Amino acid sequence: MTRTPLLFLLVSLAPMAVAETHPGEDAFIEKAVAEHGLDAASVRALLGGAEFKQSIADAIARPAEGKPWYDYRPIFITDQRIAEGVAFWRENEALINQVSEQFGVDPQFIVSIIGVETFYGRITGNYRVLDSLATLSFHYPSDRTRDRSEFFSSELMNYLLLGSEEELPLEEVTGSYAGAMGMGQFMPSSYRAYAVDFDDDGRRDLWRSRPDAIASVANYLAEHGWEAGGPVARRAKAGEGADFSLLKAGYKPELTVLDLHEKGYRSATDLDPEREAALVSLEQQDRDEYWMVFHNFYVITRYNRSKMYAMAVYQLSEALREGMAP
Catalytic residues: 117
Burial (CB count <10 Å: 0-12, 13-18, 19+), residue 302: middle
Are 314 and 234 within 8 A, CB to CB? no
d(C-alpha 253, C-alpha 3), whole Å: 43
